[in-house]
Structures are given as structure tokens and as C-alpha cells.
């Protein structure tokens, strides 16, 4: 790929890029930019994580050196899996296997744990420096990166450490590109501001959209917390992985899917954010009396047809379920053949 193709590979299917010009300059200066995404090992992957996996592969295909940061201490602070570091570690190992099954290259990926950083006094000095530039009010507003509201920041003091730690991770690893779902935007913006303050290298921030809860309702507002994100903490809101075709279909059949609506429609979002980025097309199978099969080769054409009422919700659910099950099939097959690593065995 030439430089513009590499930029486009990173930028495609994103919701926000801070900034495209900085990304182009990075590829001009560096043959192998360092990119990262961080995850709390806090349960099973969902179909929403297929958005992340596709972008992780995009970053690798664009020639980036990818680090996947398994934030065990952050999950501990955030009370995930009962605060058990043993279970959190098991969840991290499960996530690693699942992402590898999806095609995130093992040989080209650095898998790092937060506990590798937290034993260093230099790391905590960095955390203090970040915190010194951040007001308490700003830190509390950033609680949305934990999936919590400002009010929940009152639960314990440890949660106030989280935003400064997440920003510090970027510089301690270190990385040139910080990638995450748009719900982590505030952490990345904080890191960029801190970098400007101290004269540290400013990370490019890449954000992909979130997939709504299958239940629908609520709001997806970065400023107030993603109340209706597909969440592994609420299995009824999500398709959790591994999942058989039958399980995906059952979840999809019960999903919120108002005709012609796009915003907050999880089935449409799965088509736009998962199926098209992974498969490049979507075929709706219909009886001849209902117009026969219809194929869409790009998301824009599909979206226009959906808004115009040319696709029935039941037909869309069936098509998306089949595609999502196929995309996720390598995860299901991996754990079928490695039952000792399955999330049930690990107590996740």
C-alpha cells in the first residue's frame, strides 16, 4: 500500500479520526507506527467487539505495529468479575484467543497486561503528572470511559485514578495511535491535551462506532455515558461469543428493529458497522412474491433502501444473523476444539 492507501485503511468505517492530517504525517515519518487498543478483561466478547476486531486487522494491514492492552488493574478498579484478579486474568486470556481466532495476527501483535506497567515507579510518576494537569471535575466527567456516570465516581476513590491511568498507558507503552470505540473518546482527548501540555508526542486518536443494545432504548451519548451499548454485563442486550448460528438467530429475532429507523437500531447498526466492513456486501433473501433476493454492495445503498422501507425488518434480521454468525464462526469453532479455554470453564 502507498501512504494514502494506508491512511484510508485506518480511517475507513470510523466515526472519528483525530486527525486525518496527523495520521498522514505519521505514516510519512514512520514506516511502522505503533497502534494500541485497550480492553478491560471483564467478561465475554459481544458482536459489538467484531467492530474492534475488524479495525485491529485494518491497523495491521496498514503496516502498524499493534499492541492489545489487557487492562487487568483497570478492570479491578472498575469492580469487574467481582474484583477477582484471577478471573480477570482468565477473561484476558479468553479475549486473546477469541481475537486471534477472528484473524488478529498472533505474530504481529504485542499482548500487554496493565500489571506489567503498574510495578514501575516511573509509571505512577506519569499518572501523577497526568493528574496534575486534570481538574477533579474533569476527572469525574471522564467516568463515562468506565461505563459509569459522574455520580458513580463517588463509590470509591480508586475509580478517580482510572482516567489518569488510561491516559498514562498511551505514553508508557508507548504508542503513536490510540484506537477504541467512541465511548473512550474522553480518555484519548485527555491524553492529547496532556501531551500538548508536557511536549510529549501527541497520539492520533481513532474511534469506531458502538453497536446499540438489542433491547433498544436509552441513548448513546459520550457526554452522559453509553446507556444502550451492547454490553457483556447484560447478556440479554447482546450476542455474546462464542455463539452458534441458532443462538445468534434467536437473539436477532428478539432484537429491537423499528422499520425505516437507523439511529439506535441494533440490527441496522450490525449491518452497517459489522457486516459491510467484514463482508463488503449484504444479501437479503426473500420469497419471489416479496420481490426475491436483493443484494447490496455498499452500506450507503443499503441504508437508503432501508430508510425508504424497501427492506422488511424480519428479512433484515435473518440476513444479518446469518452474516454475524459466519463472521463469528471461527471463535465458536476455536472454543469447541479447545474446551479447556472456553469461558464457561474459566468461570467468565
Residue 289 lies in a domain: yes
Residue 213 lies in a domain: no
Dig out the grid coordinates for 32 from the structure: 511502522
Q: Is the domain of 147 the same as that of 244?
A: no
Question: Torsion angle, CA of 274/253/235/322, rounded to 10 degrees?
Answer: -40
**Is the residue at 88 inside a domain?**
yes
The CATH number that applies at residue 238 is 1.10.240.10
112 within some domain: yes
The answer to whether residues 87 and 43 touch, using CB atoms and an 8 Å cutoff, is no
CA atoms of 185 and 71, how far apart (whole Å): 17
Closest by CA to 164, choosing from 138, 130, 136, is: 130
- For residues 175 and 74, state if they share a domain: yes
Does the N-terminal peptide bond of residue 242 adopt cis geometry, omega within 30 degrees of 0?
yes
Closest Cα to residue 173, out of 345, 305, 76, 33? 33
Q: Are residues 177 and 138 in the same domain?
A: yes
The end-to-end CA distance of the chain, in Å, is 40
The answer as to whether 200 is a domain residue is yes
**Does residue 47 sit in the same domain as residue 168?**
yes
Looking at 208, 228, 262, the residue that finishes a domain is 208
State residue 226's pLDDT score: 43
**34 domain residue, yes or no:** yes
Residue 215: inside a domain, yes or no?
no
Kindly report, residue by residue over 138-186, the tens digit of the pLDDT.
Answer: 888 887 777 766 566 556 889 999 999 999 999 999 999 999 999 999 9
Distances in Å between the Cα of 220 and the Cα atoms of 203, 215, 223, 229 are 25, 13, 9, 7
Whether the bond between 19 and the residue before it is cis, its omega within 30 degrees of 0, is: yes
User: Please, are residues 96 and 68 in contact by the beta-carbon 8 Å criterion?
Assistant: yes
What pLDDT does 177 receive? 98
DSSP 213: P
Nearest partner of 141 among 76, 186, 203, judged by Cα: 186
Q: Is the backbone of residue 333 left (phi > 0), alpha (psi -120 to 50) or beta?
A: alpha
- Provide the domain count of the chain: 2
Domain with 307, as residue range(s), is 220-346
For residue 244, what are the CA distances in angstroms to 166, 241, 330?
35, 9, 11
* DSSP one-letter string for 229-254: B--TTSGGGS-BSS--HHHHHHHHHT
DSSP letters along 169-212, please? HHHHTT-SEEEEEGGGHHHHHHHHHHHHHHTPPPPEEEEEPPPB
> What is the domain-level CATH number for residue 199?
3.40.50.620
The reply to whether 84 and 164 lie within a common domain is yes
Contacts of 77 (CB under 8 A, 6+ apart): 158, 159, 161, 162, 165
171 and 287 in a single domain? The answer is no
Q: Which of 178, 208, 238 is the endpoint of a domain?
A: 208
Distance CA 44, CA 92 (A): 10
* Secondary structure of residue 20 in the 3-state scheme: helix
- pLDDT tens string, the chain, 348 residues long: the values are 899 999 999 999 999 999 999 999 999 999 999 999 999 999 999 999 999 999 999 999 999 999 999 999 999 999 999 999 999 999 999 999 999 999 999 888 999 999 999 999 999 999 999 999 999 988 888 877 777 665 665 568 899 999 999 999 999 999 999 999 999 999 999 999 999 999 999 999 999 999 999 998 654 444 444 446 776 556 678 999 999 999 999 999 999 999 999 999 999 999 999 999 999 999 999 988 888 999 999 999 999 999 999 999 999 999 999 999 999 999 999 999 999 888 888 788
Residues 141 and 192 in one domain: yes
38 and 78 both lie in a single domain: yes
| Burial of 195: CB neighbours in 10 Å, binned 0-12, 13-18, 19+ | middle
| 109 in the same domain as 17 | yes
What's the full length of the chain, in residues? 348
Boundary residue ending a domain (187, 208, 229): 208
Regarding whether 281 and 137 lie in a shared domain, the answer is no
Coil, strand or helix at 220: strand
Q: Which of 112, 40, 127, 46 is nearest to 75 (CA)?
A: 40
In a domain, 87, yes or no: yes
Q: Is the peptide bond before 174 cis (omega within 30 degrees of 0)?
A: yes
Specify whether the CB–CB gap between 212 and 269 falls below 8 A.
Answer: yes
Question: For cell 510529549, what's the residue?
Answer: 200
Query: 173 is written with which cell numbers?
Result: 507503552
120 and 17, same structural domain? yes
Residues 188 and 284 in one domain: no
Amino acid at each position: 500500500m502507498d501512504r494514502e492507501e494506508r491512511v484510508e485503511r485506518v480511517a475507513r468505517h470510523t466515526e472519528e479520526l483525530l486527525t486525518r492530517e496527523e495520521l498522514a504525517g505519521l505514516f510519512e515519518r514512520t514506516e511502522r507506527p505503533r497502534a494500541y487498543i485497550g480492553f478491560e478483561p471483564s467478561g465475554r466478547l459481544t458482536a459489538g467487539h467484531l467492530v474492534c476486531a475488524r479495525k485491529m486487522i485494518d491497523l495491521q494491514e496498514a503496516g502498524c505495529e499493534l499492541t492489545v492492552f489487557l487492562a487487568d488493574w483497570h478492570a479491578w478498579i472498575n469492580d469487574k468479575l467481582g474484583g477477582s484478579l484471577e478471573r480477570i486474568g482468565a477473561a484476558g486470556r479468553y479475549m486473546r484467543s477469541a481475537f486471534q481466532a477472528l484473524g488478529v495476527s498472533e505474530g504481529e501483535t504485542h499482548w500487554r497486561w496493565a500489571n506489567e506497567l503498574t510495578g514501575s515507579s516511573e509509571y505512577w510518576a506519569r499518572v501523577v503528572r497526568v493528574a496534575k494537569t486534570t481538574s477533579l471535575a474533569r476527572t469525574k466527567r471522564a467516568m463515562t470511559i468506565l461505563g459509569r456516570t459522574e455520580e458513580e465516581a463517588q463509590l470509591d476513590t480508586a475509580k478517580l485514578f482510572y482516567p489518569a491511568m488510561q491516559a498514562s498507558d498511551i505514553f508508557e507503552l508507548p504508542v503513536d495511535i490510540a484506537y477504541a470505540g467512541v465511548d473512550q473518546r474522553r480518555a484519548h482527548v485527555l491524553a492529547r491535551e496532556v501531551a500538548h501540555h508536557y511536549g510529549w508526542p501527541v497520539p492520533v486518536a481513532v474511534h469506531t462506532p458502538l453497536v446499540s443494545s438489542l433491547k433498544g432504548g436509552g441513548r448513546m451519548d459520550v457526554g452522559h455515558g453509553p446507556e444502550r451499548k451492547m454490553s457483556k454485563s447484560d447478556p440479554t442486550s447482546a450476542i455474546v461469543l462464542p455463539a452458534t448460528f441458532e443462538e445468534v438467530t434467536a437473539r436477532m429475532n428478539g432484537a429491537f428493529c423499528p422499520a425505516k429507523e437507523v439511529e439506535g437500531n441494533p440490527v441496522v447498526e450490525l449491518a452497517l458497522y459489522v457486516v459491510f466492513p467484514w463482508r463488503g456486501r449484504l444479501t437479503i433473501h426473500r420469497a419471489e412474491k416479496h420481490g426475491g433476493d436483493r443484494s447490496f454492495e455498499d452500506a450507503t445503498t443499503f441504508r437508503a433502501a432501508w430508510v425508504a422501507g424497501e427492506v422488511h425488518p424480519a428479512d433484515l434480521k435473518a440476513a444479518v444473523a446469518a452474516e454475524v454468525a459466519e463472521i463469528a464462526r471461527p471463535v465458536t469453532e476455536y472454543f469447541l476444539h479447545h474446551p479447556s479455554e472456553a469461558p464457561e470453564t474459566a468461570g467468565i
